[in-house]
A = this chain, B = another copy of it.
């Protein structure tokens, strides 16, 4: 079996490759080749006994996609995107990478399909940014996509293309609307939503973190491990059961910042909580008001997608996967 991961240098892409190696296969089939692609060279996953192709490619170059599928990968994970903030600042780049890049990939597959019947499974990382305020809570599965960012627009358009190309039989696609991934490993970054992770990850290792919003802000979370689990399940699920509506809001945990902090207290004590410094930021508070508080995700749950059910679990996953299992 040949797996292609586009966006393999990103956090979810890297963890996905590691998980596939750890599982030594997908859906009971051995993986003999992994092609890992990104704009910067992805790392070779440790312990993989098959062949790894590392490719440094910009998907928005018109011929890039065609070259990625010459080996006819059985499963394609398409995780490549520039992030929300960058897509908002650079309109051209956002559309070039997040829309045109995706369309080039879909078109390359269609051409291959018409040539030799190629029809891979395609798992696309979409985002809760496809919805836009005002939002009900919880957001039902049949709620409309009225994004308030160019990034969300590009993801929503890609979802529509994915459904249409799948309906036509060019590939077997599924769109995975990822919750905000929490706790994001690594260093604090400047993403406006970074604080959701910062206020847990930093205190867990004795460092200070800044909380720019009030404790009643409610948002929608899943751990990196769950995000990878969604991708794997999307790659193996029976798509007959999914039907023509191929883009699914994933399950997650709806929690307020206050609930996050109480979970931190339970897992790591008052000393950890005291490392959270309140520094209200008007701009981030305004942005937050438009973010998704939580989804019903009824269809995805019924289809077997699972996520954490408490923030204690999300923190424990972080301790296990990033901190060697203990504080």
Please give the residue numbers on chain A whose beta carbons come within 8 Å of chain B beta carbons, in ascending order.
Answer: 91, 110, 132, 141-148, 150, 153, 156-157, 160-161, 163-164, 167-168, 244-245
Contact = CB atoms under 8 A, between A and B. Distances in A.
Which 10 A-B residue pairs are closest in the complex by CB-CB distance? A153-B164, A142-B144, A146-B245, A157-B157, A144-B144, A153-B160, A156-B160, A157-B160, A150-B164, A142-B143
A163 B144 contact: no
A157 B161 contact: yes
Given A157-B157, A157-B161, A160-B153, A167 B148 contact: yes
B143 A144 contact: yes
A244 B157 contact: no
A161 B156 CA distance: 10
Contacts of A146: 163, 244-245
B145 A160 contact: yes
21 contacts: A91-B168, A132-B244, A141-B144, A143-B144, A144-B144, A144-B145, A145-B145, A146-B244, A146-B245, A147-B160, A147-B163, A147-B164, A148-B167, A150-B164, A153-B160, A153-B161, A153-B163, A156-B160, A157-B157, A157-B160, A160-B160
A106 to B, nearest CB: 10
Nearest to A164: B153
Give the oligomeric copy count.
2
A110 B160 CA distance: 24
A244 B148 contact: yes
Contacts of A167: 148
Contacts of A148: 167, 244
A250 to B, nearest CB: 16
A310 to B, nearest CB: 29
Given A146-B163, A153-B161, 15 more contacts: A142-B143, A143-B144, A144-B144, A144-B145, A145-B145, A145-B160, A147-B163, A147-B164, A148-B167, A150-B164, A153-B164, A156-B160, A157-B157, A157-B160, A157-B161
A294 B97 CA distance: 38
Contacts of A110: 91
A99 to B, nearest CB: 9
Nearest to A246: B146
Residue among A143, A156, A164 facing the most chain B CB atoms (10 A cut-off) = A164
A188 to B, nearest CB: 29
Nearest to A155: B160
Nearest to A114: B91
A60 to B, nearest CB: 15
A153 B170 CA distance: 15
A132 B167 CA distance: 12
